Structure 1
Amino acid sequence: MSRVRIAHFCDSHPGRTDGVAISVETTVSLLRSAGHEVQVYQPAPLLRGRDEPCGVRSVPVPLRNIRVGVPRFSGMRPVPQIVHIHTPGPVGIGGLRYAKAHEIPVVMTWHTDLLAYSAHFMEIQVGAAHAAQRLGLGWTARDYLRLARPGTERRLQLVRLGQEFLDRTAVVIAPSEKTAASFAEFERVPPVWTVPTSVALAECPLGRSEVRRSLRIPDGVPVVLAVGRATREKDPQLLLASFARLLRHLPDARLVMLGVRQQRLTILRLARQAGVAHALRIVRPVPHSRMAAYYRAADVLAFASTTDTQGLVLLEAEQAGLPVVLADAALAGRPGEESPGRMSTAPDADSFAAALARVLTDPALHRAVAEAGRAAAESYSTQRYLDHLLAAYAFARAAQPAPAAPPIR
């Protein structure tokens, strides 16, 4: 494919340890390595944002690892051939508006299940109101009030807003079959390409024993690893309740929750209530370059969330040869496989704990799950992901009518 100019718009700031930021960083790196011209617009510090080539001035949200961008995209040079939207926040909305003004085809990756997240984060409703205003949707006061009412009214209003995003998009990228199926709720949907992000797990010199020593965990003890935020949408309560049941069968087991920045006191309180505080290790986010060592130090990855659209940690764990057990059957299908392959259970503590116990106590099953995961991860390379992404870009450009030539004066 010839060289393409792509502008990416993302509301997760660089270095943030979430799936969206990591996906954008991976995508941009692959595109640049392949010789394409890429601009990335993400929140930058308020006073330095204007000095960074693609930095969007932003302000931090107190007590949250989030920055709210104040975007202005009037003089982008050179003008991109594709606008790729990753988030529906102020930066993403600014990208949509820019694309419309310059008649540039839009590719949107549906990274986040905002309908599910709206039950946990008030900023989803605030962001929806801002998006409706910036897109000039002409909502009435009653429309905005619906966002404040939990339940059906809020959901219908968010679906209505999501439809506006889709109507402005040439191609929507779903990072999983689960996400692709979720578009059935909308009336009109552009072509959907299911393209999971492929990440390359960096090598790390730290060994299994070194990580375990840092966590005060003996070598022979079974370790359950959970990676990511511990906020409500990730269901840490299910994780802790399941681990409490696991301890009845494996009393020396340990649970490592890696990547916990917020809600640490809440997690400790829930752990004490579940009777597992003595067996819990809470670890703040670590550089991505050290993740492989933590996967090697564990015996199974427990994925309790049912709100994720892909779960990059699942692919990372499989690359490292760590068996995965998840409580979301909709994410059981591995990238590149036609049939579901991951070990999944119903999202209840008894089922989840039983599956974890089976993997930890059955060496043959442990080996089979690990080998299947590693084989699937190896078959879905970063080059395969890049090829699919570029094909989606080409499709979007072909589907978008060329802008009218300016009149000759």
Structure 2
Amino acid sequence: HEVYVFCPHYGREKPDPRVIRLPAVTFLFHRKSRVAFPIPLRARRILGELDAIHSHTPFSLGALALWAARRGRIPHVHTYHTLYVAYRHYLPPPLRPPRRTAEVISAAFCNRCDVVTVESTPVRDELLRYGVRVPIHVFPFGVNLRLFSRPIQHDLRADLALPDRAPILLYVGRLAPEKNVFFLLRMFREVALRRPDVLLVMIGGGPSAEDLVHEASRLGVARRVLFPGYIGHDRLVDYYRQADLFVFASKTETQGMVVLEAMAAGLPVVAIPEMGVKDIVRDRENALCAPEDEVRYAEAVLELLADASLRERLREGALRTARELSTEMSTRKLLAVFEQIRSR
């Protein structure tokens, strides 16, 4: 298969004939994001070579995908990655749409595509509630299992100067309100009261990073919580494999890829079973499911830390889940969707 990628220009990329980088500007309300200008001329040159279009955003590049699909009469598959209603707070109040407006905009874009794919059944149900009428296929994006079988090259404890015997709770993801990260800090305070040897490592960056540092200090757990910032994926894969538990509390995930990555590493997971995460976790089979209650979530963490046989059972279940949701599986399903719409 030959693939062309349309994406924003960031400034220092190596040229690639199959990567079409469009002029872009920094998104005013999220400085690390870039918004591309949907220039039809750049797409027109290759329209005759395309058998299908696969879009991943309804915004500027999504508009270009709609134009190209209509102009070239090319089947258009859209993957709905983000629950935009949960991200409206990034816009200032004068520009922030009501929830229903965000839902209507999402549905309007999806209904102009031929097929929509989503990573979980809760997201499918959400789109149906919005009013999406085109076919919706559900399959999660898989994890590359080969990355988790190579020898470990990066030592988590040495890199972050952590004590040898201290149990490590790991969080990976954006440090932002929609990820429910402040809940994790409050929960960790409950854990630390009973297990002062436990550490929490929160990997990632985001708009809440500085506030989280202050909150950890206010809660009295600053010495037990580390914020190493962004970590490259090769190093991150090794860190997953050396932590003791993975903790996750987001309720807005379309899938929760970091949960699946933790499972691929054989890392026991404690998570709130909401939205996309609900499709991945099975309580006491491949994870512990906990409510959004600091004390009860902390009790699940403490139970898992104290019970080696339960950790091993969840580790084995997590590895089975990861094998079922590999990149090979998701690629086969996506190709089947492309073949289906081409044969119409």
Query: Residues 285 and 317 of structure 2 are in contact (CA less than 8 Å); yes or no, is this contact kept in structure 1?
Result: no
User: How far off its partner does 1:397 sit?
Assistant: 2.3
Query: Residues 176 and 206 of structure 2 are in contact (CA less than 8 Å); yes or no, is this contact kept in structure 1?
Result: no
CA RMSD of aligned residues (A): 2.6
User: How far off its partner does 1:341 sit?
Assistant: 5.0
Alignment of 1:333 with 2:298, yes or no, is no
Alignment of 1:296 with 2:265, yes or no, is no
User: How far off its partner does 1:299 sit?
Assistant: 0.6
Q: 2:222 aligns with which of 277, 288, 294?
A: 277
Alignment of 1:68 with 2:13, yes or no, is no
User: How far off its partner does 1:158 sit?
Assistant: 1.6
Distance in 2, matches of 1:398 and 1:374, equals: 36
Alignment of 1:385 with 2:330, yes or no, is yes
Distance in 2, matches of 1:333 and 1:159, equals: 22
Alignment of 1:363 with 2:293, yes or no, is no
Q: Which one-letter code corresponds to 2:278 in the other structure?
A: A
Q: Which residues in structure 2 correspond to 1:106-185 (within 5 Å)? A: 106-118=76-88, 120-122=89-91, 148=96, 154-185=98-129
Q: 1:318 aligns with which of 259, 263, 286?
A: 263
Q: Which residues in structure 2 correspond to 1:8-407 (within 5 Å)? A: 36-45=1-10, 53-61=19-27, 64-74=31-41, 75-77=44-46, 78-118=48-88, 120-122=89-91, 148=96, 154-201=98-145, 202-203=147-148, 205-206=151-152, 210-330=155-275, 331-334=277-280, 342-399=287-344
Distance of aligned partners of 1:320 and 1:175 in 2 relative to their CA distance in 1, 3 Å threshold: same
Q: Which one-letter code corresponds to 1:162 in the other structure?
A: S
SS of the residue corresponding to residue 225 of structure 1 reads strand
Query: Residues 257 and 280 of structure 1 are in contact (CA less than 8 Å); yes or no, is this contact kept in structure 2?
Result: yes
Distance in 1, matches of 2:158 and 2:292, equals: 32
Q: Which one-letter code corresponds to 1:198 in the other structure?
A: G
User: How far off its partner does 1:366 sit?
Assistant: 0.9
Query: Residues 167 and 243 of structure 2 are in contact (CA less than 8 Å); yes or no, is this contact kept in structure 1?
Result: yes
* Per-residue deviation, residues 371-407 of structure 1 (Å, max 9, x unmatched): 10001111232221111111111222234xxxxxxxx
- How many residue pairs get aligned? The number is 335
* Per-residue deviation, residues 54-110 of structure 1 (Å, max 9, x unmatched): 111112246721111112133231441111111122112221122122221111111
Distance in 1, matches of 2:135 and 2:257, equals: 24
Distance in 1, matches of 2:323 and 2:168, equals: 25
User: How far off its partner does 1:222 sit?
Assistant: 0.9
Distance in 2, matches of 1:353 and 1:207, equals: 31
Query: Residues 143 and 322 of structure 2 are in contact (CA less than 8 Å); yes or no, is this contact kept in structure 1?
Result: no
Q: Which one-letter code corresponds to 2:62 in the other structure?
A: G
Query: Residues 233 and 305 of structure 1 are in contact (CA less than 8 Å); yes or no, is this contact kept in structure 2?
Result: yes
**Gaps spanning 5+ residues in structure 2: where?**
none
What is the aligned-residue identity percentage? 30
Distance in 2, matches of 1:162 and 1:218, equals: 47
Distance of aligned partners of 1:166 and 1:182 in 2 relative to their CA distance in 1, 3 Å threshold: same
SS of the residue corresponding to residue 37 of structure 1 reads coil
Distance in 1, matches of 2:100 and 2:274, equals: 25
Query: Residues 117 and 307 of structure 1 are in contact (CA less than 8 Å); yes or no, is this contact kept in structure 2?
Result: no
Distance in 1, matches of 2:236 and 2:11, equals: 30
User: How far off its partner does 1:165 sit?
Assistant: 0.9
Distance of aligned partners of 1:262 and 1:121 in 2 relative to their CA distance in 1, 3 Å threshold: closer
User: How far off its partner does 1:213 sit?
Assistant: 2.0
Distance in 1, matches of 2:304 and 2:168, equals: 11
| Residue in structure 2 matched with residue 33 of structure 1 by the alignment | none
SS of the residue corresponding to residue 196 of structure 1 reads coil
TM-score scaled by structure 2? 0.89
Distance in 1, matches of 2:194 and 2:50, equals: 58
